């Protein structure tokens, strides 16, 4: 998913817009995790980037996406760019 979400809407309150963005991100992650794993792959890993407004996107861990959306909303940005790419992951032996 590579998408730029506006943080303002003439019809909705800002809190509702942010909640809808978070819902879309969580729904996308859930849908990607349900996909069947290829042979020899243990789990789906995610390469994530988040950018505020016109700033270049910064690499983030999948757990840091929702707080980054909140941070962009409190900073007063007009939009937030989110890029999430599913990649196959293999667990390493300890």
Pairing mode of beta strands 2-6, 79-89: antiparallel
Give the CA dihedral 66, 4, 82, 77, nearest 10 degrees. -50
pLDDT of residue 94: 82
Would you give the distance in Å from CA 41 to the centre of its chain?
22
42: region left, alpha or beta (phi > 0 left; psi from -120 to 50 alpha)? alpha
pLDDT of residue 93: 85
How would you write the pLDDT of the chain (94 residues) with one tens digit per residue? 999 999 999 999 999 999 999 999 999 999 999 999 999 999 999 999 999 988 999 999 999 999 999 999 999 999 999 999 999 999 988 8
Write out the two tokens for 88.
């196959």
Q: What residue segments make up the domains of the chain, in order of their start?
A: 2-89
């Amino acid at each position: 998913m590579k998408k730029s979400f506006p943080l303002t809407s003439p019809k909705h309150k800002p809190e509702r817009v942010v909640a809808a963005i978070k819902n879309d991100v969580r729904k996308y992650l859930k849908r990607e995790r349900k996909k069947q794993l290829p042979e020899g792959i243990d789990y789906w890993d995610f390469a994530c980037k988040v950018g505020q407004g016109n700033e270049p996107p910064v690499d983030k861990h999948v757990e840091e996406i929702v707080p980054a959306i909140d941070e962009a909303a409190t900073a007063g940005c007009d939009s937030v760019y989110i890029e999430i790419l599913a990649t196959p992951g293999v667990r390493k032996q300890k």
